Structure 1
Amino acid sequence: MRRAECWARHSSAGVFEPRFDQAGRGTEANSESVNQRGSCRRNASGPCTSTTPERRASAGHDVELEWRQADAEAQPFADGEFDTVLSCVGIMFAPHHQAAADEMLRVCRPGGTIGLLNWTPEGFIGQMFATMKPYASLPPPGTQPPPLWGRPEYVRALFGDQVTDVTADRRTVQIDRFTTPEAFRDYFKSNYGPTVAAYRAIANDPDRVTALDHDLATLAHRHTHDTGTTSMAWEYLLLTARKTEG
């Protein structure tokens, strides 16, 4: 049984609660990656309960996941401690992008692998953020928009000359769990942190709540209209890089 360590950060930007992962992400794809590459934290601490999706996803891959909660911009790990550093829709929500990128690089060993999966600005989630922006509270000073991490040139600039062998590929994940555009809106309205925060900001203005209800349902309808179904293709950027040996 190989052991991987995952860690979580509660963002200072508001209600966002993304998970940031070192040497093991709670998805089947990343658990498989950890299993194949053997890039796991050997002496981890902090339990990951058996009911979490991350623990269930790792069950068939000979990987034991354990959690540590920490700050994405000040990680409690030694320089070069990990063979592989992964983030699946996580690091993009750190408020200060350069600081978060620098920490990913610091804890990755020379020659190690960095892998990122982030929503793109042009894709569905990026467009959802643009839709919510007029309704949301102003972010704290210095906070940067999460979808910027979905632009290859932006991520390359964050990592600079500290990485080589960069590959960037735009892909889509098919989402078909919602029966109607309104069902999508209502689910995100109640469960997705950024959307919850947007509605919270306008809770005392019924007209604006109604307007945001309409705009989010329209966005989902626009992305399902061409297929005639409620299935949507959400675009993301898959970027990998190798930390320089120097």
Structure 2
Amino acid sequence: MSSRVEILNDGGYRSDGRRQYELRDITIDLSPRGTADGSAMITHGLTEVMVDVFGPREAKLRGQTLHDRALLTVEVGIVPFSTGERRKRNRGDKRILELAATIKQTFEPIVQTNLYPRSEISIFVSVLQQDGGLLPASINATTLALLTAGIPMTDYVTAITCGVHSTAPLLDLTTLEENDLPHLTVASLPRTFKVTLVAMETRLHVERVSECMKIAGEAGKVLHQEMKRAVEARTKRLVQAMDMAPRIGGVGGGVDRDVDMDEDNQT
């Protein structure tokens, strides 16, 4: 069956004008929101995700308390106008539960939960707009939100989608491309180049999988630099705010944890 759209034309350009390995425009906003301990909003093209982190704090349910480490919880919400689907997805929707479970599994080995026994770290993911790459955007935003909350991690986690058109790998797929191409999501650790997640909903030849993982790792380095720049810029703003604040008992003291965390995670 032929594709509904021309995925890759004779000139090597995709339907949105990008080349094979070209990423969509990325924007990052680390402005604090409400009572969250850490927040991040990220866009990959037209896909927009916001993540708020609360904790470490006392676990809501005593029966869930872990005596040797913090409990990591993830909730995902998708706003009704974020997609062209008419179907409304509630929190019990299978796709939402799978997305939350995947995010949790990705970060449990990376977050140093052993430093906060008998506590809870809550991650709330809000999907504001969707146009492909929802899982990678959610993972990248979660990394940044955890950093701004001062939660120690062993490394950044960066994620990207990779699909294959004929034999040509494509990075950072839109919804149209995801609907037409076999693809997978790869999350990696920039410091060690280890892969922490491979999520595949479609069948893909083993040779294409290894090829996608390789170029996804290279894309992860680019994403890491973008994310690192955003964290460094935020740290600089916090330090400047501390310097400008009157030196009166405890003013500005609340940002120490954020600054230390950002510095510790620069790689």
Same fold (TM over 0.5): no
**TM-score normalised by the shorter chain: which range applies?**
under 0.3
TM-score (structure 2 length as normaliser) = 0.25
Higher relative contact order (CA 8 A, sep 6+): 1
